């Protein structure tokens, strides 16, 4: 059995949109933290530390529900292992690997493909309709992203060069789409806390072989005070809180609508860069923000 259909009422829809926005806001800070940790911690070490923190903090609250709902989890153990491996073990690890070999502009452009994959996978595996309104909102939001990452100068697209990191980022975008569709198939009788436990644990174990290889072939991580703060942020915020919000949003409004809200991530990243890093805001930022917001409103409005 699968999770019950999402709440189509105004209250459930509004709550789902707000939860998806909350997850996106938290995730937008992940890119700033990833840049800050690049010099002190290799990518797999960052991923392992992130999920170790998230799992340890969740454990006291999730162990009881996991025990109560264990018969259902055991019956769908393959599903939870696959979901944990896709959404925990490899998705975020691929992002950290990509960030070490490709430019931020490339990453921003490629990341916008994730909602497209989500809509495509939702149509293929869940039978969700692709409406004209949704396509119009998608096109508007994509236009806003392009304006944002090119600062209004479309000629910059012709100067892009591609590296192996771009392929890692494409893979990460597809994995996030796959995870979002898998969340929609959450078995009935499994609560959100148990779902996180049942995916975090196998996901954390899935990182171990990659971590062993990285530590045996590369430098050891250095836990500076900045690194510890960064790991706590991505462990508690970008992992535990954001994943719970995203999963609840998908249950409320479905993966396709949640995916369109994900397009606001670059706008939030730009705002955080302004507040935390003092990066300038240009006319292109305002134009792109309006396009992204407009596209989201068009696509998600029932």
pLDDT of residue 296: 67
What residue spans of 126-163 are helical by DSSP H?
132-150
Q: How confident is the model at residue 63, as a pLDDT?
A: 94
Give the pLDDT confidence of 250-263 residue by residue, as tens digits.
Answer: 999 888 788 778 87
Task: Give 145-159 pLDDT, tens digit per residue.
Answer: 777 667 677 777 677
Q: Pick 40 or 300 by higher pLDDT.
A: 40
Tokens, residue 102: 């490709």
Q: Is residue 67 pLDDT above 90, yes or no?
A: yes
Identify the three-state secondary structure at position 279: coil
pLDDT of residue 49: 94
Residue among 298, 240, 223, 237 at smallest CA distance from 268: 237
Answer yes or no: are the C-beta atoms of 262 and 20 closer than 8 Å.
yes
To 5 degrees, how large is the angle CA 126–CA 254–CA 7? 115
Q: Please tell me the predicted confidence (pLDDT) of residue 160.
A: 64
* 38-42, 63-67, 179-183, 293-297: least confident range: 293-297
Name residues whose C-beta falls within 8 Å of residue 261's C-beta, 6 or more positions apart in sequence.
17, 20, 21, 24, 249, 296, 300
Entry pTM: 0.78
Q: What is the spatial distance between Cα 24 and Cα 245, in angstroms, rounded to a whole number?
A: 9
What's the pLDDT score for residue 204?
A: 95
Top-ranked range on mean pLDDT: pick from 107-111, 245-249, 261-265 = 245-249
**What count of residues does the chain have?**
302
The region of weakest confidence among 90-94, 117-121, 140-144, 166-170 is 140-144
Give the confidence band of 124 by pLDDT, cuts at 50, 70, 90. Answer: confident
């Amino acid at each position: 059995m699968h999770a019950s259909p999402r709440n189509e009422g105004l209250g459930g829809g509004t709550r789902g949109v707000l939860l998806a926005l909350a997850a996106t806001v938290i995730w937008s800070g992940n890119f700033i933290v990833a840049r800050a940790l690049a010099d002190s911690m290799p990518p797999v070490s960052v991923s392992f530390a992130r999920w170790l923190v998230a799992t340890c903090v969740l454990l006291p609250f999730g162990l009881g529900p996991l025990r109560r709902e264990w018969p259902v989890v055991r019956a769908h153990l393959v599903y939870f292992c696959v979901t944990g491996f896709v959404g925990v073990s490899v998705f975020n690890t691929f992002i950290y690997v990509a960030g070490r070999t490709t430019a931020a502009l490339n990453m921003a452009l490629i990341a916008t493909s994730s909602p497209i994959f989500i809509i495509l996978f939702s149509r293929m595996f869940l039978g969700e309709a692709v409406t004209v309104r949704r396509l119009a909102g998608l096109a508007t939001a994509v236009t806003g992203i392009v304006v944002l990452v090119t600062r209004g100068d479309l000629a910059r697209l012709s100067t892009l060069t591609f590296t192996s990191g771009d392929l890692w980022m494409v893979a990460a975008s597809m994995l996030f789409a796959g995870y979002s569709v898998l969340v929609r198939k959450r078995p009935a009788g499994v609560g959100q806390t148990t779902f996180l436990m049942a995916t975090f644990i196998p996901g954390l174990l899935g990182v171990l072989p990659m971590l062993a290889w990285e530590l045996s072939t590369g430098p050891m991580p250095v836990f500076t005070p900045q690194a510890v703060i960064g790991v706590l942020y991505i462990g508690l915020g970008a992992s535990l809180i954001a994943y719970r919000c995203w999963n609840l949003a998908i249950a409320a409004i479905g993966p396709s609508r949640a995916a369109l809200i994900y397009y606001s991530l670059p706008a939030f990243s730009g705002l955080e860069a302004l507040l935390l890093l003092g990066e300038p805001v240009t006319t292109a930022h305002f134009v792109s923000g309006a396009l992204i917001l407009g596209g989201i409103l068009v696509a998600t409005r029932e």
